[in-house]
Amino acid sequence: MPKGTTKRRPRTRAALLDAALAVFAEHGFQAATIEQVCAAAGFTRGAFYSNFSSKEELFLALFDQHSKHILERLDAALGAVPAGELTLPRLVELISVVEPAERDWYLVTTEFTLHAIRDPQAAWVLARHDASLREALAQGLTACLARAGLALTVPAEEVARLLIALREGGLAQSYVEPEELPPGALERRFLAPLLAAVTEERAH
């Protein structure tokens, strides 16, 4: 493979991912076509198939990219909190941030989840990616709570599931009634007492 092609490949892949998110959010995952994604990115079908084998693989790449972004954002925000100043309210404040661009991702991932519920193979694959995200969240949460002098009294993976359920369920209501329930409002109100109920002071 020529060196120029090798250097262009990451840029081509990134452009296809950006285009896919916009196209999927506008038209829906099922209705959107590979041709629409290629047109939005300014590439041919050949460029698409050099990077992805299907729309499903494209979505899963978006899923991993979004997960990486969320985890890196949280890690940076938490890392900026001075030692000894991380408390449950501060942790909840950082977790509750919902970026404006999250709406497009919510539309895309919700539709793919419905697709996966109907398709056992898609469900199996999505579950593997969900599990990787939960594991990273569980590890990060355990480390953050340790910095706050706390330890979970229940499995961290179960708490990660609950955090995801609270976020996704809250956003479903927020995007329908944004004035009644701004994004992140449920986390800001209920997450601190919830975490307090499943944590204890760490033994020294």
pLDDT, tens only, 148-202: 999 999 999 999 999 999 999 999 999 999 999 999 999 999 999 999 999 999 8
Q: Report the alpha-carbon distance of residue 48 to residue 201 in Å, rounded.
A: 52
Please give the Cα distance from 114 to 108 (Å, whole number): 10
Per-residue pLDDT band at 204 (split at 50, 70, 90): low
CB 75 within 8 A of CB 136: no
pTM over the 0.85 mark:
yes
What are the domain boundaries of the chain? 1-52, 55-201
pLDDT at 3 over 90: no
CATH architecture of 1-52: Orthogonal Bundle (1.10)
Instruction: For the domain made up of 55-201, give the CATH fold.
Output: Tetracycline Repressor; domain 2 (1.10.357)
- pLDDT tens for residues 118-143? 999 999 999 999 999 999 999 999 99
Which residues lie closer than 8 Å to 129 by C-beta, 6 or more apart?
60, 63, 64, 67
Instruction: Note the pLDDT of residue 9.
Output: 80
- The rounded Cα 175 to chain-centroid distance in angstroms is 17
Q: How far is CA 83 from CA 4, 33, 90, 144, 195, in A?
A: 46, 49, 12, 11, 20
